[in-house]
Amino acid sequence: MTSLQVTRMVSARIPTAVGEFQLILYHNNHDDKEHLAFTYGEVENCRDVLVRVHSECFTGDVLSSQRCDCGEQLHRAMQQIAEAGRGVVVYLRQEGRGIGLLDKLRAYNLQDQGYDTVEANILLGHQADERDYTLAARILEDLQVLSVRLLTNNPDKIERLKALGIPVTERVPMRSTVNEENLAYLSTKKQRMHHLLELTGLTGSIERRHHGNGTHRFLAGGS
């Protein structure tokens, strides 16, 4: 099997509300998607670089959907990187935890029927999480980042990047704003996918949603 390789195609200056970044577009020999690195300051041959490995979320990143915390995490990561004076957002084109936009929207409809995000993916014939971070590792190697402080609440992401040869020296937590629309989603990430989340900002009792397979319970508030 051919090893995965990335090729840096072009870099352009992108001024943003939080500072001036460089956007680097990569091609690779694995898929036909255009994966990206958004860099701030000098990162080459640097240690403990603040890094966010972010999987594409069209609904959250572009449309500011309230159903998830993805767009908020992307913009919060950019702000923290700019404040640190150096860092990288690796933007991977793997929508919906790797299942694509079509099935992500189908999963949303199943969630509206009372299934959680894990159950919805499985009902559609997918795994709970199909993301692959090999491209992120290759991009960080191309940028010559020596070690990273990873902006994430997902311990699995840390372990998988380490297994791919990326030294992770620290986990930097990402705060999520809880609302009525994303509460069940965030609770599922915490309870079923073991994300390190503090679900504060919304209080209440357990909400019950019914469907043909029984009652599903979503924790409202607390940690």
The domain limits of the chain are: 6-94+131-175
**Catalytic residue numbers?**
129, 131
Residue 210 or 92, more confident? 92
**Which of 112, 149, 154 has its CA nearest to residue 133?**
154
Q: May I ask the CATH architecture of the domain 6-94+131-175?
A: 3-Layer(aba) Sandwich (3.40)
For residue 202, is pLDDT > 50?
no
The predicted pLDDT at position 184 comes to 82
- Average pLDDT rounded to a whole number, residues 178-203: 76
Confidence of residue 52 (pLDDT cuts 50, 70, 90): very high
The predicted pLDDT at position 108 comes to 93
The predicted pLDDT at position 220 comes to 30
Mean pLDDT of the chain: 87
For residue 183, is pLDDT > 90?
no
Number of neighbours of residue 169 by Cβ within 10 angstroms:
12
Distances (CA, A) of 7 to 11, 135, 163: 12, 11, 22
For residue 214, is pLDDT > 70?
no
The predicted pLDDT at position 200 comes to 60
